[in-house]
Amino acid sequence: MSYKQDFPIFKTYPQLAYLDNSATTQKPQAVLDAMNNYYATSCANVHRGVHLLSDLSTTAFDQSKEKIATFFGAKNHELIITRNATEALNGIAYGWASYNLHAEDVILVSLMEHHANIVPWQELSKRNHTKLVFINLTADGQIDLADFENKLNTFKEKIKLVSLIHVSNTLGTLNPIGEIVTLIKKYKINCRIAIDGAQSAPHLKINFSKMGVDFYAFSGHKMLGPMGVGGLLVKEELLQSEEMKPWLFGGGMIESVYQDQTIFNSDLSERFVAGTPDVASVVGLAAACDYLEKIGMDKIEDHERQLTNYALQELSKIPEIKIIGPLDPEKRLSSVAFVYDGVHAHDVAQVLNQDEVAVRSGHHCTMPLHLSCGWVATVRASFSVYSTTEDIDKLILALKKVKTIFK
Ligand SMILES: Cc1ncc(COP(=O)(O)O)c(C=O)c1O
């Protein structure tokens, strides 16, 4: 199956093996059309006007937001629109942790986190004097559940937040969120659980209502949607009780403003929309959700699992390559990263680029992971719904040239 014909970029670059999907995905025509159509037919500011276009724009925004929330198995008001996963994770830090975490409280993250799930907590710790504690990984790049239990046992009620990546953007590891939630309950830790879903939302069916977590962050641009829009899913009870508060303030989110105070909008969805939202991008993301749904998330997961297995199998035949992350295909999803013996990752990527193979090289915003494993940089090939085994064949063929150039 190939969906490339739905993506205009492959008409511009028909030979391109685009294997940098963990960084961002290409956009289908349906998403471009939805955004263009919004600007051509319905552009006006939302929620403030009574004229026709304002009404059309508000309807487009509201319906799109509803669509995105449903895609993730969440209620409409559990979805806070953000610019991306980074802003969503910062939203947890500013809108929840700032108010609820205090000196000596512990935030648990793993060593495989993206910087977006590390730096906001380091900054919070400077403000609130909380402690950031890292869970170790096993030798094959999985969360070390024994170390996790050990830390649950050591820090006990001090732990107020466990914030974990769902699918690692570097190792490809698919973390067992269900098992982790069960362990937190087993140790009776009364903490909130946040999931960085930037790399799971594009590849897995997410049902927020059944995940047993409090927060889930994602980026639209990694799941075929436009850049500039993402979301934070927040459990309803945290919003109703105002345990989670808005972190951006201004027009749009208010009921009334007086010189000495503001009454905020009682509508949970609107309370978090400060200022003019990026309506066209929300419309585009809803179109991306539609596109993914029409294919079916289960089918997408199967397809990407097959590609990952094929890439693992073919890459492991090249003696100079050391694959990082779990070798058990069941434990990983949608990307394979590796070290090429004796050649810097950027040089490998340059050689591949000459043959129109686009991969990412560097630390992939996971410096603590790279430092702890002694990798200067790694090369990552990552897949999306439109990726094919031919793309991987091109990658392998181009990789074989590296040896002839550098040895
Ligand atoms: C796991 C993970 N979390 C967070 C992010 C940040 O996403 P964004 O740059 O869209 O905010 C990324 C981006 O690569 C990611 O892979």
**219 Cα to the center of ligand 1, angstroms:** 7
Question: Is 27 contained in some domain?
Answer: no
Other beta carbons less than 10 A from residue 288's beta carbon: 26
- Considering the domain architecture, whether residues 301 and 288 belong to the same structural domain is answered as no
Among 238, 272, 293, which residue terminates a domain? 293
Burial (Cβ within 10 Å: 0-12, 13-18, ≥19) of residue 258: exposed
Q: Do 135 and 273 reside in the same domain of the chain? A: yes
199 lines ligand 1 (CB under 6 A): yes
69 located within any domain: yes
What is the CATH classification number for the domain harbouring 174? 3.40.640.10
CB distance 114 to ligand 1 below 6 Å: yes
- Please state the φ and ψ torsions of residue 262, each to the nearest 5 degrees: -130, 135
Domain range enclosing 385: 4-19+296-406
Interatomic CA distance for residues 149 and 155, integer angstroms: 10
272 and 210 in a single domain? The answer is yes
In a domain, 289, yes or no: yes
**Same domain (yes/no): 323, 245:** no
- Helix, strand and coil content of the chain, in percent to the nearest 5, comes to 45, 20, 35
pLDDT tens profile 313-346: 999 999 999 999 999 999 999 999 999 999 999 9
Residue 151 has a pLDDT of: 98
Percent of the chain with pLDDT over 90: 97
- Per DSSP, the residues of 187-200 read TT---EEEEE-TTT
Q: How far apart (Å, rounded) are the C-alpha atoms in residues 245 and 264?
A: 11
Residues 6+ apart with CB under 8 A from 44: 51, 53, 54, 56, 57
CB 217 within 8 A of CB 195: yes
Mean predicted confidence (pLDDT) in 250-259? 94
pLDDT band at 234 (very low <50, low <70, confident <90, very high): very high
| 284 and 333 share one domain | no
Query: What is the average per-residue pLDDT within 158-166?
Result: 98
Residue 48: the pLDDT is 76
pLDDT at 132 over 90: yes
Q: Give me ligand 1 centre to Cα 194, in Å.
A: 14
List the 335-340 sheet strands across, edge first: 321-324, 335-340, 378-382, 360-362
- The DSSP bridge partners found for residue 162 are 108, 193
* Residues 334 and 357 both lie in one domain: yes
Residue 343 sits in a domain of what CATH number?
Answer: 3.90.1150.10
How many other C-beta atoms lie within 10 A of the C-beta of residue 10?
A: 17
Domain annotation covers residue 321? yes
Residue 26 lies in a domain: no
Which of these three, 270, 293, 316, is where a domain ends? 293
Task: Give the distance between the most distant pair of CA atoms in the chain.
Answer: 72
Mean pLDDT estimate for the chain = 97
Burial class (CB in 10 A: 0-12, 13-18, 19+), 120: buried
**Position 401 in a domain:** yes
Q: Give the residue carrying structure tokens 């070390």.
A: 144
**Banded pLDDT at 149 (limits 50, 70, 90):** very high
The protein residue whose alpha carbon is closest to atom 7 in ligand 1 is 85
86 Cβ below 6 A of ligand 1: yes
The tens digit of pLDDT for each residue in 9-55 reads 999 999 999 999 999 999 999 999 999 999 999 999 998 789 999 99
Q: Ligand 1 mean position to 257 CA, how many Å? A: 36
* Residue 1: predicted pLDDT: 54
Residues 6+ apart with CB under 8 A from 291: 6, 28, 30, 31, 224
In this structure, how many other beta carbons lie within 10 angstroms of the beta carbon of residue 388?
Answer: 17
Do 44 and 144 lie in one domain? The reply is yes
For the stretch 166-216, pLDDT in tens is: 999 999 999 999 999 999 999 999 999 999 999 999 999 999 999 999 999
Mean pLDDT across 143-147: 98
- Give me the number of domains the chain comprises: 2
Q: Computed over its alpha carbons, how large is the radius of gyration of the chain?
A: 22
Judge if 207 and 331 occupy the same domain: no
At 225 the pLDDT is 98
Rounded CA-CA distance 186/190 in Å is 11
Listing DSSP states for 371-396 in one string gives HHHT-S-EEEEE--TT--HHHHHHHH
Residue nearest atom 13 in ligand 1 by C-alpha distance: 23
Please give the pLDDT value at position 303: 97
Say what the pLDDT of residue 49 is: 80
Which residue's CA is the closest to the ligand 1 atom numbered 9?
A: 86
pLDDT at 47: 83
Please check whether residues 307 and 264 belong to one and the same domain: no
Atom of ligand 1 nearest to the CA of 23: 14
- Ligand 1 contact via 169 beta carbon (within 6 Å): yes
Do 144 and 247 fall into the same domain? yes
On whether both 81 and 168 belong to a single domain, the answer is yes
Ligand 1: which of 21, 83, 84, 171 to mutate, judged by most atoms within 8 Å of the beta carbon? 84
221 pLDDT more than 80: yes
267-323 pLDDT, tens per residue? Answer: 898 899 999 999 999 999 999 999 999 999 999 999 999 999 999 999 999 999 999
Closest by alpha carbon to 273, among 116, 119, 64, 41? Answer: 64
Is the Cβ atom of 196 under 6 angstroms away from ligand 1? yes
165 CB within 6 A, ligand 1: yes
Catalytically active residues are: 365
d(CA 131, CA 103): 8
Q: State mean pLDDT over 68-96.
A: 98
DSSP 258: -
Note whether residue 25 is domain-resident.
no
24 is a domain residue: no
Let me know whether 281 and 300 are in one domain: no
Q: Which of 235, 258, 293 is the last residue of a domain?
A: 293
